[in-house]
Every structure is written in C-alpha cells, then in structure tokens.
Structure 1
C-alpha cells in the first residue's frame, strides 16, 4: 500500500486499543486514511505502528491525542484533521470505560466518568460532524453503545446509565438526519472477546467481581470474537445501517426485553442476587490487570483456563496487562 494516493478519511475516537483499534484497522484495510485518536498520543502512535506491522501502510495511519470528554478538544481535532488530512467521511466513537461492582459502591464521580466518556463523547464527536457532513451531502457516523444500553445488567450501573444515553442520542440523531445523506449507526454489541476484563475497573469484592466478569467476557458461547465484531461494525457503518447488534444472547435478550420488560427485570434481579455482595464501606477502584494477581492460586489457575481466549485477545489488541500501563 506504500505510495498509494490518500483515500477517504475516517476518524476513530478511542482507537488506541481494543475494539477501537480493530475497527481502525478494518477501515484501513478498506482503503481509508484513518485517524486514530485517544487521550494518549504515545498510545495512538503505538497502535498505528501495531497496525503497520500487520501490513497496513503507516503513511495512511494518523495518530492524534484527543480527550473525547472535552468538547473543545474534539472541535479542534476535527478542524485539524479536515485541514491537514482531508474531509472526514466516516467517524466512529468507541471510547469507553467498563465499571464493575454493586450499586452501593458507586458514587457520583464514577457516574460522571462514565457519562462524560460514553455520552458526552458521542455528542462531542457527532454534533459538529453532522453539520459538516450534512453541508457536504454525505457522511457516516457511528456510536458504539452496548446491549447494556438497552437492557441494564446488574453490577454495571454507571456503564449502563451512560450507554442508555448514547443509544438514545445516536438513534435520535440518525432519525433527524434522514434525507441529508448522513447516516448514524447505533452499535449495540453483546460480550466480545477483546480483552476488556484486564482494563475494566472493579469495586466491591474485587476478586469475585473480576472472576465473574472475566469468565463471561471470554466464554466462547457468550462472547463474540472481537475481530469478527469489528468487521460487522464497519460493514454496518459503511452501509449506513441505523442499528446493528450481534451475539445470539444479545439479540434474544433485547427482543425478550422489548416484549416483556417486567420479566427481564425480574430475571436480572435473580442474577443480581447471585452476584457478590457489597463489602462494608467503600473500596478503591482497581483495573482488572491489578486485581488478577490478588486471586488465590487455585482461583487464578481456574480463571486462567477460562479466560485463555480473552487474554490472548488482550495481547493482540494492546489491552493493558501485567506488564503494560493503561491507555
């Protein structure tokens, strides 16, 4: 690909690791000049080098630092990219944080962190681009929400609160942009084997919370391979589909919830009672890769076997591990 003329421009916010990195790579394989943006410029440079090592042209991968929570910073990023790289044809918001623990543990600070990143982030990215794209008569916007933005699972309360908002925003904006040539794709994936259990934040009984979440996020029958998920997301985004979800559990769960919300609420209540109890007093927030060494030797051996696929994905997707810092 070296020496090829620049392609159409795609911007991925939250591209330094995990699903965002995979979506950036998928767009690059389809001929886009891709701007990889996250809070850390160094991490985005590393992500670009990582994709180039897979055979993608480094000259068509552009690293930028931008905090999705900061509307002015996102405005500046859009201005700079359109001035120096080209008009943004495709933009995808993937940046997010996963917070796991019982409701008693969460304070306003954690809700603000989730909402600033996963609700204000999409607003900050999509609103200015919607104006520009509508003026040009075409464009593709995408927001990665979650099945947790349609069905609120226990022990994920700040996460689900923000994702519900992001889903409503993207659906509403897409409806209002009808007829302009600009589409908005709402992405509501279920569990994905991306290695997110190592980057997720845990409160409460850290070891027990980490154990159930890590096992579920890596299970072959519950979680989809992250590379496959990225291909589905990019397919839907480029085709202008208004909504995409995947994994049988997510598809069945949202349909049942739509038909019988009271039933799913009661079932989720049963699940919640089976999850770890909250300890007395608040506990600190710890990322998964710091919780894992706290497990007993026996529990760690069992969980290592259960999370083999997820841990391999984490290594491939630059998720933080025991020898990495968070991005």
Structure 2
C-alpha cells in the first residue's frame, strides 16, 4: 500500500506504432519501449501481433505493450482505434506509421488492385491515423509524429511503380503536415529510408516473372553494401522523431540520390529507364506471389547465399510470421 512519502507514479507516455508486428515497425516499437514508453502495436494480423508482444516483453520484461488489430487502410476502423486507445490507454504522445506493402514487377503486370493496395496502406493509412491523432495533440499542445516514407518516394525505382506512387504521396503529406504544425508544439518527421535489412523480400509480392524479380530484389534488400541494418535504422528514426526533427534521411546513398534527382531530374529518370531495360520482362503467368514462394520457385543456391543477412533479419524480427516456413 502506498504511503504518504511514496512518490506519485508517473504514467509512461503512450506511443502508437502502426505496422508494428514485424520488421522495422517491431524494431521501432522496441526502441520506444526501451525509452520507457507504453507502446501500442498495431497491424492487421492478430497472431503476428501476439508473437511481437512476446518478443518485446522478453527483451523488456518491465515494459508495457498493448496489442490492437486494425487495418490502417480502413478509415472508420482506424478512427475507432484512436478513440479507444485515447480513452482506455492514455493520450497518444507519439505516433509512428510504418505499415507498408512492396509489390515488385514490370509496369505491364501492375493492376488497379496493386495501386489500390499500395495507396490504401502507405498513403491513406498515414492520413487515416494522423488526422484524428494530430487534432488531439494540437489541443494538448504537444506530440510527436513520424511517417515512414522511402527513397522510392523521392526517386522512382524501376519495377516498384505502385510502391513509389504511394510513398511519393506520403512524403508530400508528411512535409505538408510539418509545415502546418509550425509553432503548435506538435512536430512531424518525414523519415526517408533507403534499403534496409528487415526481411522484407520474404513478404514482398512479386508479379510477372516472379522468380526472376525475386532474384534481383532479394539480394538488393539483403547485401550490406546496399542496405542498412534495421536495428540501427530504428534507433535513428526514434531519436529523430522524439527530437522533433522535420526530416530524417537514413543513409548517405539516400541523401546523394535525393539531391542528384533535385539537380538533374531528367537524367535521373533516364537512368531509371535504362535500369528497367536490364530487369526481367513482363512475360510469364502474371500471377502475384509472396517472396517465399518466389524463392522456392527460383531454387538458386547463389541467391540464397546473397539473401542470407536479409533472411536472418526476417527470422529475428518476426517477418516470417508465426507459421511461416522457409
């Protein structure tokens, strides 16, 4: 029983992380937990969330982790989620939106459904959750918001068309939000990562000649000279968001590519066009399959070796899911 001499218990600030059941989102949640936040992790898949919570609490036994299943592209569900978290957990002091989907393939194989999925998750998703949260933050006069965009939103890479369109919109949304919040006590950080070793190649969706698309994307998302450690990325992101920085560019390559495109946009587009010609053509069954299925279809020992670091990251960071097999 508390005595009059006991200091009052100070509640931990609440951080809501959308897309936190695996990969980068899970690592961001871990960083916030280690900084003494009460973390609410959210994704569409309850089994993945339960595994994620167990992983977080195993590392930080005294931490507070709440789990909420919600599709970030479902506006009504997201609004209900924000209201419920603010009512039962506490005021949301930090919001970081990470949820994403990667679709790899030539333009000829991309459908309306591919664009709908990308825009729903990576553009409408941040909008859906940020608008109800930022209104409450402004009323309180403080808060931190981080939106995970991509270098793909600054320089459109080949065979990632829907992804780049959605991320480009997310960049504009986050930068506009930052400007609109000036002087309010609430800050918005536009996070622009390059490639990171999160295990994303195993859950990405491949179309066209899916196994050949996996053959280049898997190593590109895994090799250390091309990618950044997801642990280091998560730490840098959380530090930038909590510090209220307006922009966080994670790698030298990201900074160089962004500035090169700003100086020579036409040259950049032509370079991307030349790269497209080197990638697999649109011939093939046209189906869309996950990276794990594409890897099995490819059956290449060389690619398996080149994706070793990325696959290890997938295993560590719940990117395979509780029932996934290699």
**What does 1:207-246 correspond to in 2, within 5 Å?**
207-246=211-250
2:34 is the alignment partner of 1:19: no
Task: Give 2:158's aligned residue.
Answer: 154
Q: Deviations over 1:253-289 (max 9, x none)?
A: 1110011111111111111111111105x61110101
| In 1: Cα distance, 2:288 partner to 2:313 partner | 24
* Alpha-carbon offset, residue 46 of structure 1: 1.4
| In 2: Cα distance, 1:301 partner to 1:134 partner | 54
Task: Give 1:308's aligned residue.
Answer: 308
RMSD over aligned CA atoms reads: 1.4
Task: Give 2:181's aligned residue.
Answer: 177
* Alpha-carbon offset, residue 321 of structure 1: 6.8
2:86 is the alignment partner of 1:69: no
**What does 1:273-292 correspond to in 2, within 5 Å?**
273-279=277-283, 283-292=286-295
Task: Give 1:186's aligned residue.
Answer: 190
Q: 1:92 aligns with which of 71, 93, 96?
A: 96
* Alpha-carbon offset, residue 307 of structure 1: 1.0
* Alpha-carbon offset, residue 181 of structure 1: 0.5
| In 1: Cα distance, 2:104 partner to 2:312 partner | 22
| In 1: Cα distance, 2:268 partner to 2:214 partner | 24
Number of residue pairs matched? 317
Contact 2:33/2:60 (<8 A) preserved: no
SS at match of 1:53: helix
| In 2: Cα distance, 1:212 partner to 1:323 partner | 26
Task: Give 2:145's aligned residue.
Answer: 141
| In 1: Cα distance, 2:92 partner to 2:208 partner | 42
Contact 1:29/1:56 (<8 A) preserved: no
| In 1: Cα distance, 2:321 partner to 2:21 partner | 14
* Alpha-carbon offset, residue 248 of structure 1: 2.1
Contact 2:47/2:322 (<8 A) preserved: no
Q: Which ranges in structure 2 are unaligned for 5 or more consecutive residues? A: 1-8
Q: TM-score, normalised by structure 1?
A: 0.94
| In 1: Cα distance, 2:297 partner to 2:46 partner | 31
Task: Give 2:4's aligned residue.
Answer: none
Task: Give 2:324's aligned residue.
Answer: 324
| In 2: Cα distance, 1:125 partner to 1:114 partner | 16
| In 1: Cα distance, 2:46 partner to 2:17 partner | 14
SS at match of 1:241: coil
SS at match of 1:185: strand
Q: TM-score, normalised by structure 2?
A: 0.94
* Alpha-carbon offset, residue 52 of structure 1: 1.1
Contact 1:90/1:140 (<8 A) preserved: yes
